[in-house]
Amino acid sequence: MTKRQSGYADSTITVNLDAIVANWRFLDSLSAPSTKTAAMVKANGYGLDSGAVATALAAAGCPLFFVASLGEAIQLRRHFNKIGINDMPIMVLHGAQIGQEDALAANQLVPVLNDLEQISRWRLFANKTGATLPALLHFDTGMTRLGLDADQADWLIQNRGTLDGLDIAYVMSHLVSGELADDPVNARQLVSFNELRSWFAGVPASLANSAGCLLGTDYHFQMTRPGIALYGVHPLETRIPDLQPVFNWQARILQIRKAAAGDRVGYGGTFELQRQSRIATIGVGYADGYRRQLGGKATVSIGGKTAPVIGRISMDSITVDVTDLDQNSLRADHASLIHDAYPIEAMAADLGTISYEIMTTLGQRADWHYQSGSF
């Protein structure tokens, strides 16, 4: 969970925890005061360190946290214990898998029960231990991934006694296409979810991921579960000025060299210079999560000026054409890899992926810095 910080790495990732808190507050402000805004910190806080993110958000008043697996949940519980935060609810999306019951209970974790088998497993364990155990019930309203399917939901509604011994804290579902505000599947899921909910009168409900937070209050219910928007990525096509970027990715300029027209750059000599050029070699490569497919596509920012990445991406370095940069810009010792003219969304588009995948595959080799309170 904590990051290596030798202080001498050639690339640096600086996480602005205040910006994450500001994004959480903004998302929280979209819903009614009675609606809780949870924080999704699965995948180690979308790659940024779940402990650091959760510490900042808990201090700001975030009342509950979600992770994917039991392993992530235990790590987060230990972190909370270490910093003296007790009884913070931690929800585990993958639920109670075989043999995980003891560890879930011992760490005061709340499994999201995704099918009848998980329900009976958690209930048997509750009966065995004589405790009333908390859980969330997850209904699948169109995702076909996790959650009770329609038949299981029907059966459960007819056999409510199955839930005896369990304290169902929330019923929940998950949006298929929340990021496409006009997709009719959103409204269809909302109808299905409201129908299911009506069978669980008095039980709080949760449907919205980040995109759902922005779809309007109909989608908010008693708890929202944003992830990516906390980390400053815009879930809908339209950008929201209130969401701030939360991290900065920079790498050291290792060398600036002259090259002649006709010289070839990098492995395979794939890029032939058409003019006398100046090339900067920068200390970040695919081992840092700067993906190989970005060669010839990405740009970096040096001293506020944009320069194209040329030739192949190496394991430890990239090459950038800085011929057109003025001397003043070239006095900079670092390049910004994600910048105004090349935001994370543009990098994701060049890679044929989404910002989520870039964030969660950022390399571990960088020096990671966490800033708060000083902005």
Ligand X SMILES: *Cc1c(COP(=O)(O)O)cnc(C)c1O
Nearer to ligand X, 208 or 335 (CB): 208
244: DSSP letter? P
Which residues share a beta bridge with 17?
none
Pairing of strands 247-259, 334-336: antiparallel
- DSSP label of 132: -
* Member of 134, 226, 232, 311 binding ligand X (CB under 6 A): 226
Single residue of 209, 250, 277, 355 touching ligand X by CB under 6 A: 209
Q: Which of these ranges, 57-65, 118-126, 227-235, 288-296, lies near ligand X under the rule CB under 6 A?
A: 227-235
Q: How many CB atoms are located within 10 Å of the residue 293 CB?
A: 13
State the Cα–Cα distance between residues 167 and 164, nearest whole angstrom.
8
> What is the contact mask toward ligand X in residues 63 to 102, using x (rule: CB under 6 A)?
------------------------------x---------
The yes-or-no answer on residue 42 being catalytic is yes
Stretch that binds ligand X, among 95-103, 225-233, 249-257, 322-330 (CB under 6 A): 225-233
List binders of ligand X among 160-179 (CB under 6 A): 174
Does 234 bind ligand X (CB under 6 A)? Our answer is no
Among 13, 19, 30, 40, binds ligand X (CB under 6 A): 40
Between the CA atoms of 130, 136, 142 and 143, what dihedral angle is there, to the nearest 10 degrees? -100
Q: Is the separation of the CB atoms in 19 and 206 below 8 Å?
A: no
> What helix, strand, coil percent values describe the chain, rounded to 5?
35, 25, 45
Q: Closer CB to ligand X, residue 227 or residue 295?
A: 227
> Which tokens is 11 given?
């690339």
111, 227, 285, 311: residue in contact with ligand X (rule CB under 6 A): 227
Q: Which is nearer to ligand X, 226 or 311 (CB)?
A: 226
Amino acid at 11: S
Distance CA 126, CA 117 (A): 14
Work out how close the CB of 282 gets to ligand X at its nearest, in angstroms, rounded to a whole number: 30
Residues that bind ligand X (CB under 6 A): 40, 42, 93, 174, 209-210, 225-229, 235
- Provide the annotated active-site residues: 42, 267
